[in-house]
Structure 1
Amino acid sequence: MSTREIVEETLDNTTIDPSVTWTTGNVAEAFPGVFTTLGFTFINASVELATRTTFRNLGVLTKKQVCVPDQPEDMFWTLFAGRAAANIDKFREIANITPGTSATAVEQQLFGYVRPETVDANSARRYPVIVAKAPAAVLRLPKRHDAEFAELRRWRLAHLDRIDTLDHAGCVELLDDARQRFQRMLTKHMLVAFVSSGLADRVTDMLAELDLADLGPALLSGVGSDESEIAHDLWALAHDEITLREFTDRHGYHGNNEGQLSGVTWREDPAPVLNRLADYRAIPADSPRAPRNRSQEQIATRHRALAELQAALPRRKRGGAARYVRWAARWIALREQGKAGYLLTFDIARAAARRQGALLVEAGVIDHIDDVFHLSYDEVRAGVTGDRRALVGARRAAYEQRCDYRLPQAWAGVPVLTKAGESDAPALDVSGVLTGVAASGGVVEGRARVVRDPSTTELDDGDILVCETTDPSWVSLFLVAAGVVTDYGGLLSHGPIVARELGIPCVCGTENGSYRIRDGQRIRLDGDAGTVTVLG
């Protein structure tokens, strides 16, 4: 069987317990693409400890359980062929001893689907501890989350301009600092993800009881996510209301492959942003499509949906319903803020790593600055002095080969890899229908644009974005798209949240929609019914 050390060396699990079930849902959204050695070893232990600390703070796990296991089967996440996967069975265990949720709910909200064989097996054995610890942890979190995020913004800007002057010791100190801040932010983010899922469950259950399920997306709209600010500032940059430096100071930690340390951000290469400014320049300030106006309309949409919900309730229950909707909106906004928070730590870590790479090139250890990402975190910290070109070459070759493959959405044991861009699923013909999660309401027709790389794709106004998953670097496409279809994710995934903030229809969790829909087909996206129909 694989061990944690073997996985950190090979970035793969070639032998693993065949009974354990894994998924790329949700975790692939946080850390999309293929890991390099530095990228994985920088965050591996931190992700595991952050997850376990979150559940300890809630009283679900004991202090002794906050550790990094030796066996991947016992961890909440690991890698297969360089790509991240979450351990569904571990999250089911947590759900089964946590009040207010279940294995079914966690699978649906975190991963976008529920397996047919899933059976809830809730136990109350940890309830007394949870009741004692969880309320305080939850009530204190929003203000602490806001404060941590604001501090990370200040910290990033304070360090960026001086990184190019650091020596080896300075790089290591900053990398260590970034890693600690990443773990702290992720610990808060994991709690936000868990609580927001519970609140969303409560809202959807309430609606189902009243036969008002179609109000769900509207009640989760207009929450004021970080991506709304990106959208507005893209528009402001196009209209010369802010400078490029102001934009990259605020949002430059985003960019293609931003969930990987080896990714290139808008701070380093703003071309993907600049290339789309003409689209935003064509949107006047008084247009309903201007980001600020879209946000205001979505807030109004949420208020109208709440009024409809309250009208269906007895007077004594209306106040409680309003509180649940208000709390859900607040925590969903924190969910997106948390992702932005750990990306701030990544931006400093990648800048420090590239500075260290430059020093290693000068020392003759590696050939290119980005070769540093194929060294381990411990190797970088140790300040390697011998020639590492052969080792880097072998690791780079494995990385490039893995980029040509992808994992399934879910599997047990060792996954079967498929070529990226290929699928056994049959393409949809005219009148073919694809079904997913109704994530953002509305019906729209347009040309499907199947996108694999947001940095190299141009959308025309009215095109419908079809992709595997999204992260904040995709926001520049959302402003142009008439709707969004994703393979992965649930109601609280990134793509649906941003779609609701911008008021465009979205169907998520189609599993293989980006492989069954052909680029250029005319399609109808029904965000209320959760369907996509090929028109021609």
Structure 2
Amino acid sequence: MTSVDEMLETLTTTGSRPDQTWTTGNVAEAFPGVFTTFGLGFVFTAMEMAFRRMFHDLGVYSAAEIAVPENAEECFWAVFDGWAAGNIDKFRDIANRMPGTTASAVEQQLFGFVRPETVNENSFRRYPFILGKAPLWLLRTPERHDALFAELRRWRLEMLPRIEGMDERACAATIADAQARCEDIMSIHMGVAMISSSLAEKVADVAEAAEQTGLEAALLSGVGSVENAVAHDLWALAHEQISLREFTDRHGYHGPNEGQLSGVTWRQDPAPILARIEDYRSIAADSPRAPRARSAAQEATRARALQDLLAGTPRFKRPVVAALVKLTARYLALREQGKAGYLLTFDVARAAARRMGSLLVERGILDDAEDVFHLRCDALESGIDIDQRDIVARRAAQYRERQQIRLPKSWTGSPEVVKVAEEERTALAVGEVLTGVAASGGVTEGRARVVKDPDGVELDEGDILVCETTDPAWVPLFLVAGGVITDHGGLLSHGPIVARELGIPCVCGTEDGSRRILDGQIVRIDGDRGTVEVIDGDRSLTTS
């Protein structure tokens, strides 16, 4: 087994039990790419404690279970060769303790698949505690979540201007403060994620009972995600209704690789945003493609879907069903707000880390300020007086090597690492169909654009965005895209939620769509059935 400290030092977990199952699915969306030493040190304990605090608040865990285990294999998540993976067995154990859901349902909602050999083993032992605590948590959370998110936004704007003048001690204190705030928002966000999954499952159940299976995608549209605000404000920026400074004050914590502390945000480099301005400037205020028009259209879609659902529901059940759909929509909006919340803490922490890096360069500890991300977070907080250049060189080389590998979507025991250059890329032939999760309804055809970096491609109107996974930095592409296809995720993943908010078809959880669909192929995406078909194999582009 691997101790947590060993994992934080080596950025890998070895000796996992042969019967233990892991997945890169939903975790890869939150933390895409390879961790640096600083990044993992900052987020690991905060996230692990957030899980445990949240489950205690819901009554699922006892007070004795609110502690980070000594061994990485006993945690809710870990890293393997720098890549994050979730412990499926831990999440199934939690689901088995909770009323109103099953381990298989949670596995499907969070990770987009269920292993056929698994068995649900529900236990009633914690039910009295859950029934005593969870309803109150459910009622109080929306208001608490809104208040905490507003405070994080205020705190970020207050802290960022101060950081440039900080000394090392102040930088260390700021990083520690950001960690604590990250844990706080994560502890609520994780609960929101679990509850929203359970609520979405109930919505699907009532749709099926009303003989309208599949209606849940429309019922979960138009919920008012914070991602809508990014699209709305980007349009406003393009039409000179707000300034670039106003935009970055509101959304500058987003950017390429934003799920990693070493990423460069729009606040630091707005070039990715400015590159999309013309796309948004061409959209008139009264165009149905305008972000606010799309949001209104999706709200109307949800309203019609609710009417259809209620029409097929016995009259005496309609008030309860309507309340369920309303509550689910509220929690889905909170789910995206929570992601934005922890990214706010990341933005302050990365700014303080870079300032610390500059100070260490001045003292001859580092050669480059960016090298700070290859130092341990706890070492920075306690103070560093020894030359770190050799350690940084070794870790940086290992970081670059790990960027060239991939882990499987799921595995039992130890993962089989695959080098990117050696990945199988059997292209889909004309007429061949790829299947995934029907995540956002609608059928459309368009040119596939296989994208690795959201800043490294130009999409034409109606192109089909094909990628491994998405985060908020991809939102500027969604308004141009005619549809979205992702390798990872389920109905409640980031890409599907944004696709539903903007009213474009989405098929997620295809596993290998970004490797089998060729850039430039013409594809038909059916977001109602969860299928992608190649209808023209001619290619006029090279992979982005």
Map of 1:402 onto structure 2: 402
**1:434-473 map, 5 Å:** 434-473=434-473
Letter aligned with residue 420 of structure 1: V
Write out per-residue CA displacement over residues 488-514 of structure 1, whole angstroms, 9 at most, x where no aligned residue.
111000000000000000001111111
Residue 540 of structure 2 aligns with which residue? none
Question: Hey, what's the Cα distance between the residues in 2 that align with 1:425 and 1:127?
Answer: 48
Deviation of residue 420 (structure 1)? 2.9
Indicate the residue corresponding to 1:413 in structure 2. 413
User: Which residue of structure 1 lines up, in the alignment, with residue 385 of structure 2?
Assistant: 385
> What amino acid is aligned across from residue 449 of structure 1 in structure 2?
R
Q: Deviations over 1:126-184 (max 9, x none)?
A: 11111111111121111000000000000000011121000011101111110000000
Report the Cα distance in structure 2 between the residues aligned to 1:85 and 1:490, rounded to whole angstroms. Answer: 16
Answering whether residue 94 of structure 2 is matched by residue 91 of structure 1, we say no
What corresponds to 2:542 in structure 1?
none
Query: In 1, distance between residues paired with 2:422 and 2:52?
Result: 36
* Identical residues among aligned pairs (%): 61
Deviation at 1:425, TM superposition (A): 5.5
Deviation at 1:421, TM superposition (A): 6.4
Q: Does 1:78 align with 2:75?
A: no
Q: Give a deviation string over 1:290-339, Cα, whole Å, max 9, x none.
A: 00000000000000000011111121111111111100100000000000
Q: RMSD across aligned C-alpha pairs, in angstroms?
A: 0.9
Matches of 2:421 and 2:501, distance apart in 1:
29
Matched, 1:297 2:286: no
Aligned residue for 2:539? none
Q: CA deviation at 1:43?
A: 1.3
Aligned residue number for residue 130 of structure 2: 130
Q: How does 1:328-339 map to 2 (within 5 A)?
A: 328-339=328-339
Amino acid at match of 2:325: V
- Cα distance in 2 between the residues matched to 1:3 and 1:384: 24
Q: Partner amino acid for 1:55? A: F
1:288 aligns with 2:288: yes
Question: Which residue identity does 1:480 align to in structure 2?
Answer: V
Q: CA deviation at 1:479?
A: 0.8
Letter aligned with residue 67 of structure 2 = C
User: C-alpha separation between the residues in 1 aligned to 2:478 and 2:466?
Assistant: 11
* 1:39 and 1:261 in contact (8 A); partners too: yes
1:54 Cα shift? 0.6
Q: Is the 8 A contact 2:406 2:417 kept in 1?
A: yes
Residue 485 of structure 2 aligns to a residue whose secondary structure is: strand
1:67 aligns with 67
Q: Deviations over 1:448-467 (max 9, x none)?
A: 00111112111111100001
Contact 1:436 1:531 in 2 (8 A): yes
CA shift at 1:214, angstroms?
A: 2.4
Separation in 1 of the partners of 2:18 and 2:138? 36
Contact 2:223-2:329 at 8 Å conserved across structures: yes
Superposed CA deviations along residues 452-486 of structure 1, whole A, max 9, x for unmatched, are: 11121111111000011000000011011000000
Instruction: Could you list the structure 1 runs, at least 4 aligned residues long, displaced by more than 4 angstroms after superposition.
Output: none
- Partners of 2:426 and 2:213 lie apart in 1 by 31
SS in 2 for 1:161: helix
Superposition TM-score, scaled by structure 2 size: 0.98
Q: Deviations over 1:66-92 (max 9, x none)?
A: 111111221000000101000000000
For the Cα contact (< 8 Å) 1:422–1:515, is it kept in 2? Answer: no
Aligned to 2:191: 191
133-142 or 476-485: bigger deviation: 133-142
C-alpha displacement of 1:209: 2.0
What does 1:327-366 correspond to in 2, within 5 Å?
327-366=327-366
Distance 2:421 2:215 in 1: 35
Output aligned runs, 1:108-123, within 5 Å. 108-123=108-123
Report the counterpart of residue 178 of structure 1 in structure 2: 178
Secondary structure of the equivalent of 2:284?
A: coil
- Which moved further from structure 2: 6-15 or 337-346? 6-15
SS at 2:109 equivalent: helix
Amino acid at match of 1:499: A
- Separation in structure 2 between the aligned mates of residue 386 and residue 430 of structure 1, nearest angstrom: 60
Residue type of the alignment partner of 2:340: A
What is aligned with 2:279? 279
Corresponding residue for 1:204? Answer: 204
Secondary structure of 1:15's match?
Answer: coil
Distance 2:29 2:409 in 1: 12
CA distance in 1, matches of 2:147, 2:358: 34
Post-superposition offset of 1:45: 1.1
Q: CA deviation at 1:241?
A: 0.6
Distance 2:212 2:426 in 1: 34
Structure 2 CA distance for aligned equivalents of residues 104 and 427 of structure 1: 32
Contact 1:234-1:277 within 8 A present in 2 as well: yes
Does the residue aligned with 2:115 lie in a helix, a strand or coil?
A: coil
Number of residue-to-residue matches in the alignment: 536
What's the offset of the Cα at 1:16? 1.7
Q: Is it true that 1:156 corresponds to 2:160 in the alignment?
A: no
Residue 231 of structure 2 corresponds to residue 241 of structure 1: no
Letter in 2 for 1:179: Q
Contact 2:2–2:73 under 8 Å retained in 1: no
CA shift at 1:426, angstroms? 2.5
Unaligned runs of 5+ in 1: none
**Residues in 2 aligned to 1:313 and 1:91: alpha-carbon distance in whole angstroms:** 33
Give the letter for the 1:489 counterpart. Answer: G
Q: Residue 320 of structure 2 corresponds to which residue in structure 1? A: 320
Q: Is the 8 A contact 2:211 2:312 kept in 1?
A: no
